[in-house]
Structure 1
Amino acid sequence: MIKSLFSAAALVLALLCQPALAACLDGKPLAGVNLSGAEFAAEKLPGKVFTDYMYPDLDEMRLFQAMGMNAFRLPFLWERVQPQLFGALDQAELQRIKDSVAAASSIGVCLILDVHNYGQYRGKPIGSPEVPRAALVDLWQRLLANFKDPANVAFDLMNEPAKLPTAEWAATAQETLSALRRKGSRHLIMVPGGGWSGAHSWYAKDGAVSNADAFRFFHDPADNYMIEVHQYADANFSGTGNDCVEPARLSAIMANVALWATSTRRRLFLGEFGVPANQPCLAALSAMADAMKGNPAWGGWTYWAAGQWLGTYPFSLQPDSGGERPQMSILRKAMPSKDTQ
Structure 2
Amino acid sequence: MLLFVDEGNFMLRFLSAVLLSLMISPVFADCSSSNLKGVNLSGAEYNSSKVPGILFKEYVYPAEQDLAYFANAGATAIRLPVLWERMQPELNSPLNQQEMKHIQQVVETARKYGLCIVLDVHNYGSYRGSAIGTEQIPVTAFVDFWRRTAAYFKDDKYVAFGLMNEPHVVPVDQWALIANRVLQTLRTAGVSNLVLVPGGRWSGVHDWFAGSGGAVNALALANIRDPLGRMVLEVHQYADADSSGTHSTCVEPERLKKVFASLTQWAREHRQKLFLGEFGVAANEDCLTDLRVMLDGVKDKSVWQGWAYWTAGRWIGSNYPFSVQPQSGIDTVQMTVLRKYLGD
Name the TM-score, length of structure 1 as normaliser: 0.90
Give the SS at the match of 2:215. Answer: coil
Residue type of the alignment partner of 1:105: R
Residue 303 of structure 2 corresponds to which residue in structure 1? 297
Residue 95 of structure 1 corresponds to which residue in structure 2? 101
Give the SS at the match of 1:284. Answer: helix
Residue 163 of structure 2 corresponds to which residue in structure 1? 157
Residue 179 of structure 1 corresponds to which residue in structure 2? 185
2: CA distance, partners of 1:144 / 1:245: 40
The answer to whether residue 239 in structure 2 is matched with residue 257 in structure 1 is: no
> Do 2:281 and 2:322's aligned partners in 1 also have CA atoms closer than 8 Å?
yes
* Alignment length (residue pairs): 319
1: CA distance, partners of 2:197 / 2:43: 22
Residue 13 of structure 1 corresponds to which residue in structure 2? none
> Do 1:228 and 1:268's aligned partners in 2 also have CA atoms closer than 8 Å?
yes
The answer to whether residue 152 in structure 2 is matched with residue 146 in structure 1 is: yes
Residue 328 of structure 2 corresponds to which residue in structure 1? 321
Which deviates the most, 170-179 or 250-259?
Answer: 250-259
Deviation at 1:330, TM superposition (A): 1.9
Q: Structure 1 pair 94/138, CA: closer, same or farther in 2 (3 Å)?
A: same
Q: Structure 1 pair 295/148, CA: closer, same or farther in 2 (3 Å)?
A: closer
The answer to whether residue 229 in structure 2 is matched with residue 223 in structure 1 is: yes
Bigger radius of gyration among the two:
2
Q: Structure 1 pair 63/256, CA: closer, same or farther in 2 (3 Å)?
A: same
> Do 2:73 and 2:342's aligned partners in 1 also have CA atoms closer than 8 Å?
no
Residue 339 of structure 2 corresponds to which residue in structure 1? 332
Deviations 1:51-81, CA, capped at 9 Å, x for gaps: 0000002211010011110100000000011
Which deviates the most, 266-275 or 203-212?
Answer: 203-212
| Long gaps (5+) in structure 2 | 1-24
Residue 49 of structure 1 corresponds to which residue in structure 2? 55
> Do 1:293 and 1:335's aligned partners in 2 also have CA atoms closer than 8 Å?
no
Deviations 1:190-223, CA, capped at 9 Å, x for gaps: 1100000000000011654300000111010011
Which deviates the most, 322-331 or 209-218?
Answer: 322-331
Give the SS at the match of 2:296. Answer: helix
- Alignment of structure 1 residues 33-182 onto 2, 5 Å: 33-182=39-188
Residue 12 of structure 1 corresponds to which residue in structure 2? none
RMSD (Å), alpha carbons: 1.7
Residue type of the alignment partner of 1:302: A
1: CA distance, partners of 2:329 / 2:227: 48
1: CA distance, partners of 2:322 / 2:303: 26
> Do 1:158 and 1:192's aligned partners in 2 also have CA atoms closer than 8 Å?
yes
Deviation at 1:334, TM superposition (A): 3.1
1: CA distance, partners of 2:83 / 2:68: 24
Residue 22 of structure 2 corresponds to which residue in structure 1? none
| Long gaps (5+) in structure 1 | 1-17
Percent of matched pairs sharing the same residue: 48
Q: Structure 1 pair 80/310, CA: closer, same or farther in 2 (3 Å)?
A: same
1: CA distance, partners of 2:297 / 2:93: 43
2: CA distance, partners of 1:334 / 1:195: 28
Give the SS at the match of 1:288. Answer: helix
Deviation at 1:271, TM superposition (A): 0.2
The answer to whether residue 27 in structure 2 is matched with residue 24 in structure 1 is: no
Residue 283 of structure 1 corresponds to which residue in structure 2? 289
Q: Structure 1 pair 186/217, CA: closer, same or farther in 2 (3 Å)?
A: same
Deviation at 1:321, TM superposition (A): 3.2
Deviant stretches of 4+, over 2 Å: 18-22, 206-209, 293-296, 332-337
Name the TM-score, length of structure 2 as normaliser: 0.90
- Alignment of structure 1 residues 183-198 onto 2, 5 Å: 183-198=189-204
Deviation at 1:134, TM superposition (A): 1.1
1: CA distance, partners of 2:151 / 2:304: 29
Deviation at 1:144, TM superposition (A): 1.1
Q: Structure 1 pair 28/219, CA: closer, same or farther in 2 (3 Å)?
A: closer
Give the SS at the match of 1:144. Answer: helix
2: CA distance, partners of 1:200 / 1:33: 21
Residue 205 of structure 2 corresponds to which residue in structure 1? 199
Residue type of the alignment partner of 1:179: T
Deviation at 1:19, TM superposition (A): 11
2: CA distance, partners of 1:129 / 1:214: 23
Q: Structure 1 pair 236/86, CA: closer, same or farther in 2 (3 Å)?
A: same
> Match for 1:310 among 305, 311, 316?
316
Which deviates the most, 290-299 or 303-312?
Answer: 290-299
Deviation at 1:253, TM superposition (A): 1.1
Give the SS at the match of 1:199. Answer: coil
